[in-house]
Structure 1
């Protein structure tokens, strides 16, 4: 997973399909979601995975109106195509990623 912050978020995510994990260091459910996404990233090399500490990347966080953690944002060419709130099993993330990445813009 690529570490993203306000300094590189827009530049990195403006093209291609991205799965972005917005998390907080004090968030217990985030510690469950991050390893799931890291494992999924190993099996989906054509998709970019990013990680954002939302307590420090406020500009990026507020751009998507994120108020709770964990929140996973699916982006296609810089535009949000799906948001996933809260922790879920790997199959849910896999299914939502597959549907969003296959959708026409």
Structure 2
């Protein structure tokens, strides 16, 4: 069972920007092979790190929020803290690399 919730254009502000803990946002699409490879890694991170929330934004269904943050390549994984975009990882990467890139937020 996944600990990763879907976020939409309508819920992004409440679920991400107003969160009381850092949020890892996976910008993805169903047709994206690397996105599907990254998904179980982010599920593991969500299960192992209670200090952070992990959510997914389908860029095909939520084009407004993807455009707002300039998503041109997926998977794009952003970290938001206190309503601010503070870190980015582009592309499918091994779990150890993602944890290293985002270590200060986990």
Superposition TM-score, scaled by structure 1 size: 0.91
Shift of the alpha carbon at 1:44?
0.3
Which residue pairs with 1:3 in the alignment? 6
User: Separation in 2 of the partners of 1:41 and 1:12?
Assistant: 15
Gaps of 5+ in 1: none
Aligned residues: 101
Unaligned runs of 5+ in 2: none
- Moved runs in structure 1, 4+ residues, more than 3 A? none
Structure 2 equivalent of residue 45 of structure 1: 50
Give 1:13 shift: 1.0
Aligned Cα root-mean-square deviation (Å):
1.2
- Matched position secondary structure for 2:102: helix
Q: CA deviation at 1:12?
A: 1.1
Bigger drift between 80-89 and 10-19 goes to: 10-19
Residue 46 of structure 1 and its aligned partner are, at CA, apart by 1.7
Residues 26-65 of structure 1 aligned to structure 2 (within 5 Å): 26-65=31-70
The TM-score, its normalising length taken from structure 2, stands at 0.90
Q: Does 1:22 align with 2:27?
A: yes
Q: Distance in 2 between matches of 1:10 and 1:96?
A: 24
Query: Among 72, 88, 91, which residue is 1:67 paired with?
Result: 72
